[in-house]
């Protein structure tokens, strides 16, 4: 049985990816520190559901603890590693930047050191659309310059990309960085807009709408993301032998088995249309507090997904209204509303 290691396995995306790999016949080992950044009960429930499969096991602990991941790699010898553990959130990185330094930079360093000692066949590491920062060219393409991050969260993710490239080059580690775009769906994070908006709307409370609603996001349904990651697992990059290989894939490093891949829906949605989808799914009209843009935020995101299609033949396509309805249905059941 093929073995995968997922960091951040009790997280929103980690949980869904673990389920997807278990369904595909993988043995899955997870590690998560159950950070109190949001409701730990939700994280424990995700792990408990995964533990119903005999092919799943988990370790509780912080990935930035020196040597912990190296010991885990030595014991488990995973063929596939998917690195999702991170301190998330653009806005929280303004309030608590050190937690991003520890989890995102020190944690990624420990992962890379573990992979150097015990190389997997392929390692996929989560980045974010936020690395595109102040770029105004749309849609965002992997080969675009990404040097003007707008938040410390985005800066730590861009730094992780650079760290990973150096290890891929020095130690011939096949690494794919995937930049995901506003992932949403059932079992989502309580700090995300969909969760906050749904909770407030169902409780009859107003929602805060930033930049007076003049924002667009490339919302990506979580099942589409996990399908894309699963397919990318079989598309490990190679160190290019010719300039033609690089020309055919402008995110492939010229000196390392390393590439960057966008995972998004490829179709940005107006924030007000997203809110309308929540209103439709809940059957309740939202009360809106129209507010200015928040520090560190960007007005729009939009993924060019051509490379993902070339590598996997897959293109995310879940309609935002269907995805929002699936989340609202889950929310009602989970909270008994």
Report the alpha-carbon distance of residue 198 to residue 192 in Å, rounded: 10
Asked if residue 325 belongs to a domain, the reply is: no
Residues 6 or more apart in contact with residue 203 via CB below 8 angstroms:
none
Note the pLDDT tens digit of each residue in 280-335: 999 999 999 999 998 878 888 999 999 999 999 999 989 999 999 999 999 999 99
Catalytic choice (132, 153, 184, 331): 153
Residues 6 or more apart in contact with residue 241 via CB below 8 angstroms:
none
Asked if residue 271 belongs to a domain, the reply is: no
Bridge partner residues of 289 (DSSP):
208
Note the pLDDT tens digit of each residue in 50-108: 999 999 999 999 999 999 999 999 999 999 999 999 999 888 888 999 999 999 999 99
**pLDDT averaged over the chain?**
95
Note the pLDDT tens digit of each residue in 110-158: 999 999 999 999 999 999 999 999 998 999 999 999 999 999 999 999 9
Report the alpha-carbon distance of residue 218 to residue 268 in Å, rounded: 4
Residues 6 or more apart in contact with residue 98 via CB below 8 angstroms:
none
pTM strictly above 0.75: yes
Between the CA of residue 81 and those of 6, 41, 108, 151, what are the distances in Å?
A: 6, 26, 12, 27
Confirm if 169 and 330 have CB atoms less than 8 A apart: no
Asked if residue 57 belongs to a domain, the reply is: yes
CATH number of domain containing 40? 3.40.50.720
Residue 145 falls in which region: left (phi positive, over 0), alpha (psi -120 to 50) or beta: beta
Report the alpha-carbon distance of residue 334 to residue 187 in Å, rounded: 9
Report the alpha-carbon distance of residue 322 to residue 18 in Å, rounded: 23
Provide DSSP, 183-251: EE-TT--TTSHHHHHHHHHHTT--EEEGGGG--EE--EEHHHHHHHHHHHTT-------SHHHHHH-TT
Asked if residue 204 belongs to a domain, the reply is: no
Report the alpha-carbon distance of residue 312 to residue 282 in Å, rounded: 35
* CA 172-249-233 angle, 5° bins: 55
Residue 65 belongs to domain spanning: 3-184+221-264+301-318
Report the alpha-carbon distance of residue 259 to residue 315 in Å, rounded: 18
Note the pLDDT tens digit of each residue in 202-240: 999 999 999 999 999 999 999 999 999 999 999 999 998
Q: What DSSP state is assigned to residue 123?
A: E
334 part of the active site: no
Asked if residue 107 belongs to a domain, the reply is: yes
Asked if residue 189 belongs to a domain, the reply is: no
Asked if residue 307 belongs to a domain, the reply is: yes
Provide DSSP, 148-190: --SSHHHHHHHHHHHHHHHHHHHH---EEEEEE--EE-TT--T
Q: Give the chain's domain count.
A: 1
Rounded to 5 degrees, what are φ and ψ at 285?
-80, 130
Nearest to 307 by CA among 166, 165, 144: 144
Report the alpha-carbon distance of residue 227 to residue 242 in Å, rounded: 30
Asked if residue 290 belongs to a domain, the reply is: no
């Amino acid at each position: 049985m093929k073995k995968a290691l997922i960091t951040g396995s009790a997280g929103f995306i980690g949980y869904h990816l673990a389920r997807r790999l278990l369904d595909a016949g993988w043995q899955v080992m997870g590690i998560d520190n159950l950070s109190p950044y949001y409701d730990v009960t939700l994280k424990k429930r995700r792990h408990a559901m995964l533990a119903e499969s005999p092919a799943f096991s988990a370790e509780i602990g912080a990935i930035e603890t020196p040597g912990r991941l190296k010991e885990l790699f030595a014991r488990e010898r995973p063929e596939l590693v998917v690195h999702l553990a991170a301190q998330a959130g653009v806005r929280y990185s303004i309030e608590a930047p050190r937690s991003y330094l520890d989890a995102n930079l020190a944690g990624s360093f420990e992962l890379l050191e573990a992979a150097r000692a015990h190389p997997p066949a392929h390692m996929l590491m989560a980045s974010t659309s936020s690395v595109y920062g102040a770029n105004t060219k749309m849609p965002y393409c992997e080969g675009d310059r990404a040097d003007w991050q707008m938040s410390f969260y985005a800066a730590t993710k861009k730094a992780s990309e650079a760290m990973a490239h150096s290890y891929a080059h020095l130690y011939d580690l096949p690494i794919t960085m995937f930049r995901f775009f506003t992932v949403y769906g059932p079992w989502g994070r309580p700090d995300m807009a969909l969760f906050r908006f749904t909770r407030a709307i169902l409780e009859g409370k107003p929602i805060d709408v930033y930049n007076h609603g003049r924002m667009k996001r490339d919302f990506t349904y979580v099942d589409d993301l996990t399908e894309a990651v699963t397919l990318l697992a079989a598309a490990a990059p190679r160190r290019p032998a010719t300039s033609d290989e690089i020309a055919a894939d402008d995110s492939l490093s010229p000196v390392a088995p390393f590439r960057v891949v966008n995972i998004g829906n490829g179709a940005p949605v107006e924030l007000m249309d997203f809110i309308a989808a929540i209103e439709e799914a809940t059957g309740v009209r939202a009360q809106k507090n129209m507010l200015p843009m928040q520090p560190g935020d960007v007005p729009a995101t939009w993924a060019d997904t051509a490379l993902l299609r070339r590598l996997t033949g897959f293109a995310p396509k879940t309609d935002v209204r269907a995805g929002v309805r699936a989340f609202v249905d889950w929310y009602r059941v989970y909270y008994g509303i």
